[in-house]
Amino acid sequence: MWVVVGLGNPGRRYAETRHNVGFLFVKRVAEDWEARLRKPRFLAKTGEVRRHGERVVLALPQTFMNESGQAVQALRCGIPVDPANIVVVFDDVDIPLGEIRIRPDGGPGTHKGMASIVGALGSTGFPRIRVGIGPTPEGADIVRFVLTPFRRDERAVLEDCLGRAEAALDLILAGHIDKAMNDFN
């Protein structure tokens, strides 16, 4: 069993912003894999599919980004899953737009949503897919930058990136995280 959590902020105001890349990713995967994301349960909108013979729960936390750990903990209590089988997908300003980084574990860095999840789980031992949204323009306020929508010229780059992230996720769910890292990092 796997849980795939896309980080973002709920609500229309944030829907197309850089900080909602995790939401955009999970919505894309849900559509491609024909999973219907339903009303919130366990503090998240969820949908289920079978992939590689495993049950996979796709989740969009309905808490704000900095409180994502509350939703992940509620999911873990409601759907008993080992933290090692929770894949978190989130934005990273330190990675250029169009690039992804896959890791099997590690600290949260400066990402407050990830810090919340690490704190709630009491573990850094879960895979993650970091989706590049950077760099922050020189002199720009980072908070303001992550809450801006992608420009029209960036959308094609983002779509290609999310497609590669989806292929990487499929490898992770099949038990091949090393191959995903080799192929996509």
Structural domain boundaries in the chain: 2-184
Taking only the tens place, the pLDDT of each residue in 120-146 is 999 999 999 999 999 999 999 999 999
Per the listing, tokens 């969820």 go with: 46
Per-residue pLDDT, 82: 95
CA gap 173, 19 in Å, rounded: 24
Per-residue pLDDT, 105: 97
Per-residue pLDDT, 127: 98
Per-residue pLDDT, 14: 95
Per the structure block, which two tokens stand in for 24? 């955009």
Per-residue pLDDT, 107: 95
Question: How many CB atoms sit inside 10 A of residue 78's CB?
Answer: 14
Per-residue pLDDT, 152: 94
Asked if the 2-184 domain carries CATH number 3.40.50.720, the reply is no
Per the structure block, which two tokens stand in for 65? 């980004």
Question: Which run of H or E residues covers position 32?
Answer: helix 21-32
Per-residue pLDDT, 5: 98
Catalytic residue among 19, 52, 111, 176: 19
Per-residue pLDDT, 113: 97
User: Does residue 56 contact residue 175 with C-beta atoms inside 8 Å?
Assistant: no
Per-residue pLDDT, 180: 98
Regions of the chain short of the pLDDT cut 70? none
Per-residue pLDDT, 47: 97
Query: Is 176 part of the annotated catalytic residue set?
Result: no
Q: Which residues contact 6 (CB under 8 A, 6 or more apart)?
A: 21, 22, 23, 24, 25, 26, 27, 58, 59, 60, 89, 90
Per-residue pLDDT, 128: 98
